[in-house]
Structure 1
Amino acid sequence: MQTVVTAKLKLNTTPEQFKALRTTQLAYRDSLNYVSQYAFAHGKMSNAVRLQDATYEEIRLRFHLPSQMACSVPRQVGASYKTLWTKVKNNAVHRKEGKTKKRYKGLDKAPTFISPTLTYQYKKDYTFKKEQQVSILTLEGRVIVPYTGYNKHVALIQRGAEIGASKLWYDKPKKQFYLLVSLAIETADPTPETHKQVAGVDVGMRYLAVTATMQGDCTFHSGKQIVPKANHSARLRKHLQKKGTRSATRRLVAISGRERRLKQNTNHVVSKRIVLQHPQSLIGLEHLTDIRERTKRRKGKNAKQRKANRTFSKWSFAELHSMIAYKALLHRSMAIKVDANSTSQACPKCGHTCKENRPNKGLLFVCQNCQYTLHADLVGARNIAMRTLLLRQDWRGTGLLSVRAFCVGR
């Protein structure tokens, strides 16, 4: 089995190399916007082959991109339009089912690409050299740049790991270029014999994650120190958006970056703790597709409704799940998705399920049938662990895992 990790390499450029990379980045972004406008004007086209046939020559002439980059641009735009079309179709289904009244407006105008991050194809646009150097293609030809990075990632590159595409990312505040390289790492194929332990992970806002095992062990990963910071950022953002000045806009950009880094770092720490606590285990995660639509509050006063919706959609649970998944594979474990329906309302002792099991939707779980009492988030984690155990037993009996393993790499 393969898992994909991303190596972040710091490029130590000279002033001439810096200028060449920056010029290439901006030309790539301008070509993305050109192809996006063309796709929108021709029926919001998402077919990458047709986009390339129609725009390749113009990209080469107008933006002077090398041939491989000129091929990457239509593919990236086509993928973006496919994603938007998927959201439009899902929104139409949700409106028909009465789950939402809002119409998705992502395709009302041509998508604009703001970030100058560009994509490089391995052995075509960039290659690695000896002595920690990388050869990168620019508008003015190739430049050979020394790099530094995390020792384990550098060792994987030098030992001949399977290298994929990369992205040239520019950190504007630090005025520093980074090369984000995808590395495919071979991991041992999981079997029921190697994954004997089972753990369930319940995510939430009061506690970012609660884990439980079939032996009764549990761990609470609190968000007590993180949530107030996120709330403070939300208040600042609301105040600055009302001002609307240029300085306020600059502060909004800085706040958004700080909040994103805070969440990412917290997810990294929590996911690492969970994986290290459960080696060679089958880790069950909730299948949280359309979680924002399903948890959206539709009753109550407008101010309270907006505050509740903002609270429920505040944290990046998908990112936390993806981090647990790829870290688990690196530590000889595996994460799978299980049904999330009624995990916090079902009694793990007698199976009785009803909303009244959680009085006032609080932290206390009280079964209305057998009076079993426990922390509500721990009940959710135990139910997930039991559903994971059922999947493992079925896997052991049939030799096939009945759900698709969630092993998305970063």
Structure 2
Amino acid sequence: MDPTGRVTVPYTGRPEDLKAVDALPMGEADLICRRGVWLLQVAVILPHPAVHEPIGGFLGVDQGVANLAVTSDRAVLPGPALPGPIGGNGHARTLRERRHRQRQRLQKKGTAAARRVLRRLSGREHRMMTDLNHQISKFVVREAERTGRGVALEDLQGIRGRVRAHRFQRRTLHGWAFAQQIAFTRYKAARAGIAFLLVDPAYTSQACPDCGHISRANRPARGRFVCARCGLAGHADHIAARNIATRGIAGWAAINQPHATGLPLARRDRESKPPAPASGS
């Protein structure tokens, strides 16, 4: 300890984290104490590679309550494709329901011992969902990178106010981390140089990806899609993911269409912005 009271202590971490702190420009750093363990949170500035042209199209991802994510390649996530103890969406829902009932019992009991258990259990479900969303986003971005595609998800801003969920699904809907999964996928795609788009979610589960027919009659059951015009049938979430992938291709073409200036729309918008004022002006 120096005369000012400042203490110098060593820190450790995963090799990749230590390498990032040593090699990359650093931003803010916070020293926090979490359950008696001191942690140093350091923000580093990651390089932003150029976005690759999605020559293979887009990988569409449908998010929902029954299934956290279904891709246009028919992968249901979480599932066998992901590591870890969570076997599938049904397993995740069962764990969440069990912990919800456990919290209710402890809150009803109200004793000091019950409050200690609640503190110990606090954040466990949030950590589980965060880990699942990290695994899902990592799988999606790696699959897009492997096949030379971009990633397209639905723009679900305000979904909780738009969707009329069954009363047994309302708590699940309001607790499902849609925005977190989108955010994780967005920044992982940016780090890998993968094109990322949010598309209009309207009628993705009622539109036929083959003939384009849109009707509520195309959904005879929650998880079933049967086109009333051409007869295409399949799982409703997979059909929605196919529509999202198609809208991703159309959206990418729209924002990169050439203009009279000879620049794509997205680049033209960037270059038309006035320069930022110099520091100290």
TM-score past 0.5 threshold: yes
> Residue 41 of structure 2: SS of its match in structure 1?
strand
> Residue 257 of structure 2: SS of its match in structure 1?
helix
1:338 to 175, 199, 213: 199
Q: 1:138-192, CA deviations, whole angstroms, 9 ceiling, x for partnerless residues?
A: xx65332211122222112212x221123323221xx111111111111222153
Say whether the 8 Å CA contact 1:325–1:334 is kept in structure 2: no
Between the aligned partners of 2:132 and 2:112, the Cα distance in structure 1 is: 31
Q: Which residue of 2 aligns with 1:386?
A: 246
1:147 aligns with 2:8: no
- Give, in angstroms, the shift of residue 348 of structure 1: 1.0
Alpha-carbon distance change, 246 to 400 in structure 1, aligned in 2, over 3 angstroms: farther
Between the aligned partners of 2:265 and 2:5, the Cα distance in structure 1 is: 51
> Residue 225 of structure 1: SS of its match in structure 2?
helix
Identity of aligned residues (%): 34
> Residue 230 of structure 2: SS of its match in structure 1?
coil
Alpha-carbon distance change, 386 to 201 in structure 1, aligned in 2, over 3 angstroms: same
Aligned Cα root-mean-square deviation (Å):
2.2
Equivalent residues in 2 for 1:89-108 (5 A)? Answer: none
Q: Which residue of 1 aligns with 2:149?
A: 281
Equivalent residues in 2 for 1:44-63 (5 A)? Answer: none
- Give, in angstroms, the shift of residue 296 of structure 1: 4.5
2:26 to 149, 163, 182: 163
With a CA cutoff of 8 Å and minimum separation of 6, indicate the structure with the bigger relative contact order: 2
Gaps of 5+ in 2: 79-88, 259-263, 270-281
Say whether the 8 Å CA contact 1:391–1:401 is kept in structure 2: no
> Residue 46 of structure 2: SS of its match in structure 1?
strand
Task: Output the amino acid matched with 1:278.
Answer: A
Q: Which residue of 2 aligns with 1:81?
A: none
Task: Output the amino acid matched with 2:77.
Answer: H
Q: Which residue of 2 aligns with 1:218?
A: 74
Q: Which residue of 1 aligns with 2:277?
A: none
Alpha-carbon distance change, 388 to 141 in structure 1, aligned in 2, over 3 angstroms: farther
Task: Output the amino acid matched with 1:196.
Answer: I
TM-score of the pair, normalised by structure 1: 0.56
- Give, in angstroms, the shift of residue 388 of structure 1: 0.4
Alpha-carbon distance change, 351 to 311 in structure 1, aligned in 2, over 3 angstroms: same
> Residue 142 of structure 1: SS of its match in structure 2?
coil
> Residue 124 of structure 2: SS of its match in structure 1?
helix
- Give, in angstroms, the shift of residue 207 of structure 1: 2.1
1:227 to 89, 93, 106: 93
Structure with more of its chain in strand, by fraction:
1
Task: Output the amino acid matched with 2:212.
Answer: G
Equivalent residues in 2 for 1:364-379 (5 A)? Answer: 364-379=224-239
- Give, in angstroms, the shift of residue 335 of structure 1: 2.1
Say whether the 8 Å CA contact 2:204–2:244 is kept in structure 1: yes
1:207 aligns with 2:67: yes
- Give, in angstroms, the shift of residue 363 of structure 1: 0.8
Q: Which residue of 2 aligns with 1:259?
A: 125
> Residue 274 of structure 1: SS of its match in structure 2?
helix
Gaps of 5+ in 1: 1-16, 18-139, 298-303, 405-410
Alpha-carbon distance change, 346 to 183 in structure 1, aligned in 2, over 3 angstroms: same
Say whether the 8 Å CA contact 1:295–1:312 is kept in structure 2: no
Between the aligned partners of 1:294 and 1:389, the Cα distance in structure 2 is: 25
Alpha-carbon distance change, 385 to 141 in structure 1, aligned in 2, over 3 angstroms: farther
Alpha-carbon distance change, 144 to 400 in structure 1, aligned in 2, over 3 angstroms: farther
Runs of 4 or more off by more than 3 Å in structure 1? none
Between the aligned partners of 1:338 and 1:332, the Cα distance in structure 2 is: 19
Say whether the 8 Å CA contact 1:201–1:209 is kept in structure 2: yes
Q: Which residue of 2 aligns with 1:196?
A: 55
Q: 1:116-138, CA deviations, whole angstroms, 9 ceiling, x for partnerless residues?
A: xxxxxxxxxxxxxxxxxxxxxxx
Number of equivalences: 248
Task: Output the amino acid matched with 1:400.
Answer: L
Between the aligned partners of 2:143 and 2:42, the Cα distance in structure 1 is: 29
Q: Which residue of 2 aligns with 1:295?
A: 163
